[in-house]
Amino acid sequence: MVRSTDLFVMSQHKSIQLGVNVDHIATLRQARGTTYPDPMHAADIARKAGADGITVHLREDRRHIQDHDVFSIRGNVNLPMNLEMATTPEMLKIAQTVKPYECCLVPEKRAELTTEGGLDVLKQKIELGDYVGALQEHGIKVSLFIDPDEEQIAASKELGVDIVELHTGAYADCGEDQRASEFYRIKQGAKLAHSLGIQVNAGHGLHYQNVAEIASIGELVCLNIGHSIVARAAMTGFYEAVFAMKQIMIGARLESEGQGT
C-alpha cells in the first residue's frame, strides 16, 4: 500500500515519465459546444499531480482539441508539450508556429474512433524524411508512433528521429492468450530502439490494470495516457460534483425563502 508521504517522492521520480493526454476533456466540451471543461485547466491539474508532459492530438477534423487549446496549453502550462498530428502541410505550419517540445507523427483516418495503428515508416520513408527534417529544423523533437516491429524501428532510425512511441493498442486490446506475446513484442521493440540510441516511449489503451506491466520495461522513458485517466476522473470526481450542485440549489432556495445567512 502506498503511504501518502510516499506520493510526493513518487511524483518526483523521473525514471519513468507520464505524459497526460487531455484530448477527452475537449471531447466532453465539444459534445455540447460549451467553453468547459477546459483542457488547459486539466493540463494544469495534471502538472500539479506529477505529470511530466502534456499530450494533445490536433486532428484534421478538430473533433476534440481545437487550435486555441494547443496555443493556450503551450503558453500557460509549464510542462513539455507533445503535439500529436498527421503529416499534413497544415499541421506542419501549426507545429512550426507553436514549437512544442515534441511532435508525435501519427497515421490518421477520418472514420476511426481513435488512432488505429502505427505509421508505416518503410512505405512512407521519403515523405516522412522531409517532414521530420522540417520539424527538426525548427528545434522540435520528432517522435514516430509505430507498431513494435523490428523493421519499423530500423526505418525510424534511418530517418534520424529523436523518439519512437511504441503502439500498445494491440497489447491492450488482445485476449489473455495473446497478452504474453504482445508484451514480448513491446519489450523487444523497446530494447532494440534503445540500443539504436532512440528514446522509446509507449502509449495507447493503457489503463490502471495493464500499466504496471508496461511500466516495468526499463527502456521505456515516457508513457502517454489519456482515456483511462479522464474516465477515472469522471468517476472519482462525481461525488463532489453532485454534492456541489445540490449545495448551490439548496442555498438558492433558502435565500429565496428568506432563510439565507
Total number of residues shown for the chain: 261
Q: For residue 58, what are the β-bridge partners? A: none
Residue 51 is a binding residue for ligand PXP (CB under 6 A): no
Sole binder of ligand PXP in the list 203, 217, 219, 220 (CB under 6 A): 203
Residue 108 is a binding residue for ligand PXP (CB under 6 A): no
Which residue, among 125, 157, 163, 121, has the nearest Cα to 142 in the 3D structure?
Answer: 163
Residue 58 is a binding residue for ligand PXP (CB under 6 A): no
Sole binder of ligand PXP in the list 194, 204, 217, 219 (CB under 6 A): 204
| Other CB atoms within 10 A of residue 131 CB | 21
Contact 47, 87 (CB under 8 A): no
What is the contact mask toward ligand PXP in residues 120 to 149, using x (rule: CB under 6 A)? Answer: -------------------------x----
Known catalytic residue at 68: no
Sole binder of ligand PXP in the list 106, 163, 164, 214 (CB under 6 A): 106
User: Integer distance in angstroms from the first to the last C-alpha of the chain?
Assistant: 44
Known catalytic residue at 84: yes
Residue type, 178: Q
Sole binder of ligand PXP in the list 29, 57, 74, 185 (CB under 6 A): 57
Which residue, among 137, 76, 65, 132, has the nearest Cα to 104 in the 3D structure?
Answer: 132
Catalytic residue among 24, 64, 84, 167: 84
Closer residue to ligand PXP in complex, CB, 25/257: 25
C-alpha to C-alpha distance for 74 and 8, rounded to whole angstroms: 25
Closer residue to ligand PXP in complex, CB, 162/165: 165
Residue 3: burial class (beta carbons within 10 Å; 0-12, 13-18, 19+): exposed
Sole binder of ligand PXP in the list 50, 124, 227, 233 (CB under 6 A): 227
| Other CB atoms within 10 A of residue 102 CB | 24
Known catalytic residue at 204: yes
C-alpha to C-alpha distance for 26 and 121, rounded to whole angstroms: 30
Contact 167, 204 (CB under 8 A): yes
> Least CB distance from residue 39 to ligand PXP, whole Å?
13
Residue 84 is a binding residue for ligand PXP (CB under 6 A): yes
Closer residue to ligand PXP in complex, CB, 4/56: 56
> Least CB distance from residue 169 to ligand PXP, whole Å?
7
Residue 205 is a binding residue for ligand PXP (CB under 6 A): yes
Closer residue to ligand PXP in complex, CB, 77/144: 144
C-alpha to C-alpha distance for 26 and 185, rounded to whole angstroms: 33
Positions that interact with ligand PXP (CB under 6 A): 21, 23, 57, 84, 104, 106, 114-115, 145, 165, 203-206, 224-228
Residues noted as catalytic = 57, 84, 204
